[in-house]
Amino acid sequence: MSELVFFSGTMDCGKSTLALQIGHNRSARGLQGIIFTRDDRAGEGKLSSRLGLVTDAVEAAPGLDLYGYLVERMSQGERVDYVIVDEAQFLAPEQIDQLARVVDDLDMDVFAFGITTDFRTKLFPGSQRLIELADRIETLQVEAMCWCGARATHNARTVGGAMVVEGEQVVVGDVDRPTEEVGYEVLCRRHHRRRMTSASSRAAALSPDVLPAGNA
């Protein structure tokens, strides 16, 4: 029976790598799929992994009817056996509803990959709708690590190496951007609460007068 499966995790835990692997495994069995993505780090219409793997994809732009797009491709004689969606957190809730319809009406597996919360620890609308609708939610077992060595559970946005908690929900960046640019870092809850990134921890280590924050 076809399923809508949501693979979730923090940044840097291998979501895109797994998406590419699932596509490879099904392709090796002779199945044909469509890959959707949104705002990938490699640019429009690409699905990329931090390991250096990249493949072409369909950009799931705002307003694109994913169900209608698939029906049109199939009506033109194209075979579609499954769907992969990367960066699913960026999709609109109605696009998640369309993916559920793909499963129910077209009897097709949909594998969605994304992070659940933004840099403010608030749910992305697309991820929230996936949690509400998915037949199955899988937490990726490859654990991203905070700079302290603990399991990373939160995504932090940084500017100049300092964590910020205000701004637009979606700003494209990555975990390996130069510190002077807008970037992202995965942190454990403790250091996310304290707004202590790897850069600020190094600065604190150089100061002999640092004391713990009173509200930590």
Residue 87 a catalytic site member: yes
SS3 letters for 97-162?
A: HHHHHHHHHHCCEEEEEECCECCCCCECHHHHHHHHHCCEEEECCCCCECCCCCECCEEEEEECCE
Q: Which two tokens stand for residue 157?
A: 């946005």
Q: Are 146 and 191 in contact, with CB atoms under 8 Å apart?
A: yes
Residues making up the binding site for ATP: 9-16, 86-89
Tell me which of 87, 166, 180, 185 is the catalytic residue: 87
Residues making up the binding site: 9-16, 86-89
Catalytic residue list: 87
